[in-house]
Structure 1
Amino acid sequence: MNTAPRLPWIEISPKAYQAMAAVGATTAKSSLGPILMELVKTRVSQLNGCAFCVDMHVRDLRRLGETWQRLNSLCTWRETGLYSARERAAFHWAEALTRLPDGHDHHDASFDALKDQFSDQEIVELSWAVAQINAWNRMAVGMRAPVAEKDIA
């Protein structure tokens, strides 16, 4: 498998990159908290097969004190009792917004579950974060952002 980067996309389009980074700085200040935001970004990155983003967000979660067990079980979150109702509602919504081609019938149930756990402000902040990580995933996957070997965090 060829894993060489395709183009130096950040250098080619620095203004677009900076704009995306600015959105990221805004969503990072969300009232949802850094652990939930990073868990959602990691889950979306898993769905999109973005090795670069999964690696980055898992490392961020470890620095925030997240356990290996919860990180290892994130891809099977439905099968474990390791996540709160709030986290589960966020994962449902993130998956619904990420898997748009699967149809939109299940969005009402996902949204209703959100309403039980989050304020309107939080739902909008979560939705922006999901939209942004999906955009980052598409750039990183499309341009083959490399995953460098690093020590375990």
Structure 2
Amino acid sequence: MTERIHLGKRVPEIYQAMSKLQAEVEKAAANAGVDQKILELVKMRASQINHCAFCLDMHSHEAVQQGESPRRLYVLQGWRETELFTEQERAALALTEAMTNVATLHDVPDDVYEEATRVFDETQYRAVAWEIIAINSWNRMCVTSHAPLPERAE
């Protein structure tokens, strides 16, 4: 794999701004009562779509540490085919897919938006949407930079 210029911590002002954005998104989600597990599923699903190994490694590890079931992470890509996910999780995953694939879809389909705003109040919807925006930014930075996986004991 070609070694790339790393866009992350080598530009500390921008990296710190992204980290601050992430912290604000998580704070808004907590204040809105969005379950942290939903945020981790959003991060995982966007990272799957964007093929971001660095983020998949990090967020699967964090999700399991927060009590997420490895089984649900294993089947996340096929979430529509299982009953393992709640109504809110399903709406968040559909919104994640639509927002992550907006260049192809050219919009978030009305049915996806309507379901998300049915199961989340306005403040929760905003927090979930901002999490999707944030993780897509992180994915693009890591994929473009070929961010290496950290050393981790198995």
Length-normalised TM-score, structure 2: 0.91
Equivalent in 9, 15, 18 of residue 16 of structure 2: 18
Question: Which range moved further: 61-70 or 24-33?
Answer: 24-33
Q: Name the structure 1 match of 2:72.
A: 70
Which secondary structure state, in structure 1, belongs to the residue aligned with residue 67 of structure 2? coil
Equivalent in 85, 97, 105 of residue 95 of structure 1: 97
Q: Name the structure 1 match of 2:63.
A: 61
8 Å Cα contact 1:3-1:146 kept in structure 2 = no
Rounded Cα–Cα distance in structure 1 between residues aligned with 2:128 and 2:107: 20
Please tell me the residue identity of whatever aligns with 2:147.
Answer: A
Please tell me the residue identity of whatever aligns with 2:16.
Answer: Q
Rounded Cα–Cα distance in structure 1 between residues aligned with 2:21 and 2:9: 18
- Structure 1, unpaired ranges of 5+: none
- Establish whether residue 8 from structure 1 lines up as the match of residue 10 from structure 2: no
Question: 1:103, CA displacement in angstroms?
Answer: 2.0
Rounded Cα–Cα distance in structure 2 between residues aligned with 1:128 and 1:50: 19
Please tell me the residue identity of whatever aligns with 2:62.
Answer: D
Question: 1:9, CA displacement in angstroms?
Answer: 2.5
Question: 1:148, CA displacement in angstroms?
Answer: 3.1
Which secondary structure state, in structure 1, belongs to the residue aligned with residue 75 of structure 2? helix
What's the % identity of the aligned pairs?
37
Q: Name the structure 2 match of 1:116.
A: 118
Rounded Cα–Cα distance in structure 2 between residues aligned with 1:131 and 1:99: 12
Superposition RMSD in Å = 1.5
Rounded Cα–Cα distance in structure 2 between residues aligned with 1:11 and 1:60: 21
Which secondary structure state, in structure 1, belongs to the residue aligned with residue 68 of structure 2? coil
How far does the alpha carbon of each residue in 1:17-54 deviate from its partner, in whole angstroms, 9 at most, with x for none? 00000011111221312111011001100000000000
Which secondary structure state, in structure 2, belongs to the residue aligned with residue 135 of structure 1? helix
Rounded Cα–Cα distance in structure 2 between residues aligned with 1:151 and 1:45: 22
Please tell me the residue identity of whatever aligns with 2:11.
Answer: S
Query: Aligned residues, how many?
Result: 150
- Structure 2, unpaired ranges of 5+: none
Which secondary structure state, in structure 2, belongs to the residue aligned with residue 7 of structure 1? coil
Q: Name the structure 2 match of 1:40.
A: 42
Please tell me the residue identity of whatever aligns with 1:147.
Answer: L
8 Å Cα contact 1:51-1:147 kept in structure 2 = yes
